């Protein structure tokens, strides 16, 4: 955490609210087919001007800037400058062999990156075919959006070597938010941008989450509101046969299989950190991530006693009345997960309401006294949060709920899992299994 930094290393962190952030920031130049995302044009609106200072900062300094995307907040730095990219690893406390995903504003920028540095002459002529054909159906359907594709890294490469961590490929995506694309376009270079959290902590979906982790480590956070998707992008590798999913995320494997050439895509990730000396092929594969400070007990959707709620034997609480037990509910658990508690009282709202798929998403935490048996003596507090019943709303609220229960000092957090074979449920369960101290299946 930033408070452990030596005084001379601490920085003043400013949170800059970006007003607007929608279509007023820019638009794609009108074209057909794949070229509909060929060139992003930044507008001259007041909202766009607010990003110009951040872009100048990214071009001239080696300290990363946090900014929102549709998935989570990213910690961005110019992916072509080694000193800037090293600033990401330093701010996050991230292992240097964990590769970074780069973010582009449009296809023109990607084509420029795919052109070997020795051939660059200010144009992108002839570089179109360097986008492998296997990816074109995905790009046309899912970009801009929460999908990262692995590309061959040209030799010599325009990217700083710290981006790829020694791999011969790099991961790239085009974020869905006009704010992110406009910032990248104003910088004039791709941004390497992992999640803007301290390494191993739950990913941030609000500017407040970023500030909580990185206050004093970075100087600028762009506040564009709450992220809509709530989990990171799906990472795929189409350079092998059959193609594989390296990390589940905002695009499901079922959606991928509907695209030509991806009908036989396979899962190539595990739901736990993978040991080994080699650099991981994608972020999130090798190192522990998404973990709150509290002990996390995950009840899988397949657990036979799921509908009955939390088993008292899993509490493992201290013998006093200062215990704090967190409960994150999804589809079936009643208030408190079936634990014996007093009347639940609403606490402060966790997040501002966000319009998500035509409904207002708002997370609230409620607390109550907790008992081992009815009429017994209180053994502490129960903190209860419902994050919705469908996979999209669960994904949207997951990291916020974990962070809030950590902030409130929960000793243990019980989580009702969801099915992992539909929509982005696989991504939700992947993150939860990595965070869990104990799994009931």
Indicate the Cα dihedral angle 152, 155, 161, 164, nearest 10°: 10
User: Other C-beta atoms within 10 Å of 41: how many?
Assistant: 13
Same domain for 156 and 198, yes or no, is: yes
Same domain for 364 and 247, yes or no, is: no
Instruction: Dump pLDDT digits (tens) for 43-75.
Output: 988 888 889 999 999 999 999 999 999 999 999
Q: What is the pLDDT of residue 7?
A: 43
User: Other C-beta atoms within 10 Å of 166: how many?
Assistant: 11
pLDDT at 125 over 70: no
> Is residue 179 within 8 Å of residue 412, measured between CB atoms?
no
Q: What is the pLDDT of residue 163?
A: 96
pLDDT at 6 over 60: no
pLDDT at 356 over 60: no
> Is residue 415 within 8 Å of residue 432, measured between CB atoms?
yes
pLDDT at 124 over 60: no
Cis peptide before 156 (omega within 30 of 0): yes
Q: Is the dihedral of CA 17, 22, 27, 28 positive or negative?
A: positive
Q: Residue 393 falls within a domain, yes or no? A: yes
Residue 425 sits in a domain whose CATH number is 3.40.50
Q: What is the pLDDT of residue 288?
A: 57
The bridge status of strand 364-371 relative to strand 345-349 is antiparallel
Q: State the number of CA atoms in the 13 A half-sphere of 22 facing the CB.
A: 2
Q: Residue 407 falls within a domain, yes or no? A: yes
Q: Residue 155 falls within a domain, yes or no? A: yes
Q: Is 401 helix (H, G, I), strand (E, B) or coil?
A: helix
Which of the pair, 23 or 72, is modelled with greater confidence?
A: 72
Same domain for 178 and 322, yes or no, is: no
Which of the pair, 148 or 374, is modelled with greater confidence?
A: 148
Q: Residue 233 falls within a domain, yes or no? A: yes
Q: What is the DSSP letter of 9?
A: G
Same domain for 241 and 341, yes or no, is: no
Rg over alpha carbons for the chain, rounded to the nearest Å, is 22
pLDDT at 352 over 80: no
Q: Residue 287 falls within a domain, yes or no? A: no
> Is residue 203 within 8 Å of residue 290, measured between CB atoms?
yes
Domain termination site, one of 267, 284, 305:
267
Same domain for 261 and 318, yes or no, is: no
Q: What is the pLDDT of residue 270?
A: 81
Quick one: the chain helix, strand, coil %, rounded to 5?
30, 25, 50
In this prediction, residues 330-355 reach a mean pLDDT of 79
Same domain for 113 and 44, yes or no, is: yes
List of E strands, 135-290: 147-152, 169-173, 191-192, 220-223, 234-237, 244-247, 266-267
Same domain for 256 and 299, yes or no, is: no
Q: Is 101 helix (H, G, I), strand (E, B) or coil?
A: strand
Domain termination site, one of 248, 267, 286:
267
Residue 72 sits in a domain whose CATH number is 3.90.870.10
Instruction: Dump pLDDT digits (tens) for 290-304.
Output: 778 899 999 999 999
Same domain for 262 and 300, yes or no, is: no
Structural domain of 359: 295-439
pLDDT at 24 over 60: yes
Same domain for 344 and 380, yes or no, is: yes
Binned at pLDDT 50, 70 and 90, residue 350 comes out as low
Instruction: Report the C-alpha gap between 67 and 46 in whole angstroms.
Output: 18
pLDDT over 90 for what percent of the chain? 63
Same domain for 239 and 373, yes or no, is: no
Q: What is the pLDDT of residue 214?
A: 96
Q: Residue 310 falls within a domain, yes or no? A: yes
pLDDT at 120 over 70: no
Same domain for 263 and 299, yes or no, is: no
Domain termination site, one of 267, 285, 305:
267
Mean pLDDT of the chain: 87
pLDDT at 126 over 50: no
Task: Domain count for the chain, please give it.
Answer: 2
Helix and strand element counts for the chain (H, E): 10, 23
Q: Residue 288 falls within a domain, yes or no? A: no
Instruction: Dump pLDDT digits (tens) for 200-224.
Output: 889 999 999 999 999 999 999 999 9
Q: Residue 299 falls within a domain, yes or no? A: yes
pTM (two decimals): 0.89
Same domain for 43 and 176, yes or no, is: yes
Q: What is the pLDDT of residue 420?
A: 83
> Is residue 291 within 8 Å of residue 429, measured between CB atoms?
no
């Amino acid at each position: 955490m930033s408070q452990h930094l030596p005084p001379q290393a601490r920085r003043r962190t400013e949170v800059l609210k970006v007003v607007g952030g929608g279509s007023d920031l820019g638009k794609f130049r009108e074209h057909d087919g794949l070229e509909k995302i060929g060139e992003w044009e930044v507008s001259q609106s007041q909202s766009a001007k607010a990003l110009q200072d951040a872009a100048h900062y990214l071009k001239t300094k080696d300290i990363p800037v946090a900014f929102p995307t549709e998935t989570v907040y990213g910690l961005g730095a110019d992916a072509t400058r080694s000193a800037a990219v090293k600033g990401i690893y330093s701010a996050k406390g991230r292992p240097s062999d964990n590769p970074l995903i780069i973010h582009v504003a449009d296809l023109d920028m990607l084509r420029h990156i795919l052109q070997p540095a020795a051939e660059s002459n200010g144009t992108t002529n002839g570089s179109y075919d360097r986008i492998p054909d296997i990816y074109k159906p995905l790009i046309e359907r899912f970009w801009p959006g929460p999908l990262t594709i692995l590309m061959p890294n040209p030799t010599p490469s325009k990217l700083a070597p710290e981006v790829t961590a020694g791999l011969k490929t790099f991961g790239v995506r085009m974020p869905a938010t006009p704010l992110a694309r406009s910032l990248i376009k104003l910088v004039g270079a791709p941004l390497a941008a992992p999640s803007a959290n301290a390494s191993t902590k739950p990913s941030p979906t609000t500017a407040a989450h970023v500030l909580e982790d990185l206050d004093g480590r970075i100087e600028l956070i762009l506040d564009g509101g709450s992220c809509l998707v709530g989990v990171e992008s799906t990472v795929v590798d189409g350079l092998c046969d059959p193609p594989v999913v390296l990390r589940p995320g905002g695009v499901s494997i079922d959606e991928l299989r509907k695209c030509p050439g991806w009908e036989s895509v396979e899962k190539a990730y595990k739901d736990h950190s993978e040991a080994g000396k080699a650099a991981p092929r994608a972020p999130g594969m090798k190192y522990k991530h998404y973990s709150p400070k509290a002990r996390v007990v995950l009840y899988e959707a397949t657990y036979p006693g799921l509908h009955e709620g939390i088993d008292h034997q899993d509490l493992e609480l201290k013998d006093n009345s200062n215990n704090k037990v967190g409960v994150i509910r999804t589809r079936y658990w009643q208030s408190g997960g079936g634990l014996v508690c007093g009347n639940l009282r609403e606490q402060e709202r966790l997040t501002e309401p966000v319009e998500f798929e035509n409904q207002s998403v708002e997370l609230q935490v409620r607390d109550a006294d907790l008992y081992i048996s009815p009429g017994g003596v209180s053994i502490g507090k129960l903190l209860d949060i419902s994050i919705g019943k469908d996979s999209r709303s669960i994904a949207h609220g997951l990291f916020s709920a974990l962070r809030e229960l950590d902030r409130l000092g929960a000793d243990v957090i019980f989580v009702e899992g969801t099915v992992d074979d539909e929509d982005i449920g696989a991504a939700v369960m992947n993150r939860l299994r990595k965070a869990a101290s104990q799994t009931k299946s």
